[in-house]
Amino acid sequence: MQRAKVNQSINLKDYNDIWVIGEQREGKIHPVTIELIGEAKKLASEIGKKVIVVVAGYEIEEEVKKLLNYGVDKVLYIKSPLLKTFSTDGYAISISNLILERKPEIVLVGATSIGRDIGPRIAAKIGTGLVADCTKLDIDPTDGKILQTRPAFGGNLMATIICPINRPQMATVRPGVMQKAQHIDNPTGVVEEITPNLTEADIIAKVIEIVKSGKKRVNLIDAKIIVSGGRGVKGPEGFELIKALADALGGEVGSSRACVDAGWIDSMHQVGQTGTTVRPEIYFACGISGAIQHLAGMSESKYIVAINTDSTAPIFKVCDFGIVGDLKEVIPAMIEGIEKGKAFEI
């Protein structure tokens, strides 16, 4: 593995502010951007820095302006017709050039498909490190460095990583992990439009056509109620019960990795370290043992309800309510109660 060259002449005092690389899809700001703003504001309050959001695109002025209502100090809008449709080259080049010019101290990127695409490329272009899939960010009280924590060794331990020499300090953060910034009225921040030094020749890989999947979108990140199934459902037919409970509650269907690997359900439903990180109001863990990899993706739920035949399953150590019993008996009884008007209130 090759290591990025360290710039020995770098002056850490030249770097300031916390940047959030905002993400927009088809002209709409992705929710992870609001989560990153919330985390950036928390970090900024500890080290006395400004929070700046960087958004690349074209003809999204109104959407960009909305970001000011989350209490940021400034939005840098990189505006170009070449950035209207996402391209790896266009976004990475434009954002990298701006980072080299303005020198932020910390850069946060969403660990989405787009963020995971451009994040490492930006880090390579500007010659710094990148900590991927962070679940926790803190400030070291001794010197103000950012402490970046992520799962390691298959989720069996948490590693805290620092970037002591190079700048900026970069991290990707998984969607659903951080608290969203609060919406405010009468914001004081400003939007600065920037025209990038970008040409058609810079964009090597071009988008020819966008084909959307015909599958129903599963929105686990914003769901208030999630009903997840694990090995205990004992097959794809077991997810019919899971879906029935989710439908009765107006929630989404989730799954452990084991069920996805077994082909019982699509990967878009996977919750956990290698799936989606969620924080619903209520999370039903049905037939899920409670492996640390799964807990990493749902432990921040407001309430966790566990249903399992094994009373010694680790899930019972973290749940708020536990039911020891057979899913085939427990879930139909729950659905019957809901249909009789005994629905859960959030």
3-state secondary structure the chain: CCCCCCCCCCCHHHCEEEEEECCEECCEECHHHHHHHHHHHHHHHHHCCCEEEEEEECCCHHHHHHHHHHCCCEEEEEECHHHCCCCHHHHHHHHHHHHHHHCEEEEEEECCHHHHHHHHHHHHHHCCCEEEEECEEEECCCCCCEEEEEEECCCCEEEEECCCCCCCEEEEECCCCCCCCCCCCCCCCEEEEECCCCCHHHCCCCCCCCCCCCCCCCCCCCCCEEEEECHHHCCCCHHHHHHHHHHHHCCEEEECHHHHHCCCCCHHHEECCCCECCCCCEEEEECCCCCHHHHHHHCCCCEEEEEECCCCCHHHHCCCEEEECCHHHHHHHHHHHHHCCCCCCC
Binding-site annotation, residues = 231, 256-257, 270-274, 287-294, 308
Q: Give yes or no for residue 213 having a pLDDT over 80.
A: no
Instruction: Tell me what the pLDDT averaged over the chain comes to.
Output: 86
Give the pLDDT band (50/70/90) at residue 40: very high
For residues 7 and 285, give the distance between their C-alpha atoms in angstroms, rounded to a whole number: 48
User: What is the structure's pLDDT at 8?
Assistant: 52
Longest alpha-carbon distance in the chain: 71
Which of 95, 76, 75, 179 shows the shortest CA–CA distance to 137? 179
pLDDT at 6: 44
Q: In the predicted model, what is the mean pLDDT of residues 50-58?
A: 92
Mean of pLDDT values over 286-309? 88
What pLDDT was estimated at residue 214? Answer: 63
Among the residue ranges 113-127, 212-226, 290-304, the one predicted with the least confidence is: 212-226
Tell me the binding residues for FAD. Answer: 231, 256-257, 270-274, 287-294, 308
- The pLDDT, as a whole number, for residue 104 is 94
Instruction: Write out pLDDT tens, residues 161-193.
Output: 888 888 899 999 888 788 888 898 888 889 999
In this prediction, residues 248-264 reach a mean pLDDT of: 91
Q: Is the model more confident about 292 or about 90?
A: 90
HEC string for 288-309: CCCCHHHHHHHCCCCEEEEEEC
Q: Give the whole-number percent of the chain exceeding pLDDT 70.
A: 94
Whole-structure pTM value: 0.73
Characterize 216-247 residue by residue with b for buried, 16 or more Cβ atoms within 10 angstroms of its Cβ, and e for exposed: eebebbebebbbbbbebbeeeebbebbbbbbe
Confidence of residue 156 (pLDDT cuts 50, 70, 90): low
Enter the tokens of residue 99. 């980072």
Pair of tokens at residue 306? 């566990």
| Mean pLDDT (whole number) for 208-228 | 80
- Give the dihedral sign, CA 181/186/189/191: positive
pLDDT at 342 over 60: no
- pLDDT reported for residue 245: 92
- Show the domains of the chain with their CATH numbers: 12-202 (3.40.50.620), 225-339 (3.40.50.1220)
Q: List the one residue out of 251, 244, 234, 215 whose CA is nearest residue 309.
A: 234
Mean pLDDT for 130-143 is: 87
Higher-pLDDT residue of 165 and 2 is: 165
Q: What is the pLDDT of residue 15?
A: 86
Instruction: Report the alpha-carbon distance of residue 122 to residue 98 in Å, rounded.
Output: 11
Residue 171 is predicted with a pLDDT of: 92
Q: Taking residues 204-216, what's their average pLDDT?
A: 74
% pLDDT > 90, the chain:
39
Are 50 and 18 spatial neighbours (Cβ–Cβ below 8 Å)? Answer: yes
What's the gap between Cα 16 and its chain centre?
24
* pLDDT-based confidence at residue 4 (cuts at 50, 70, 90): very low
Residue whose C-alpha is closest to residue 84's, from 192, 197, 201, 207: 207
pLDDT for res 141: 86
Report, in angstroms and rounded to the nearest whole number, the Rg of the chain calculated over CA atoms. Answer: 22
Token digits of residue 164: 């002591």
How many C-beta atoms surround the C-beta of residue 302 within 10 A? 12
155 band by pLDDT with thresholds 50, 70 and 90: low
Please give the pLDDT value at position 1. 26
pLDDT(345) > 60: no
pLDDT confidence tier of residue 3, bands split at 50, 70 and 90: very low
What pLDDT is attached to residue 177? 80
Please report which confidence band the pLDDT of residue 343 belongs to, taking 50, 70 and 90 as the band edges. Answer: very low
**Tens of pLDDT, residues 77-127:** 999 998 888 888 889 999 999 999 999 999 999 988 889 989 999 999 998
Residue 213: CA count within 13 A, CB half-sphere? 5
pLDDT tier for residue 199 given thresholds of 50, 70 and 90: confident
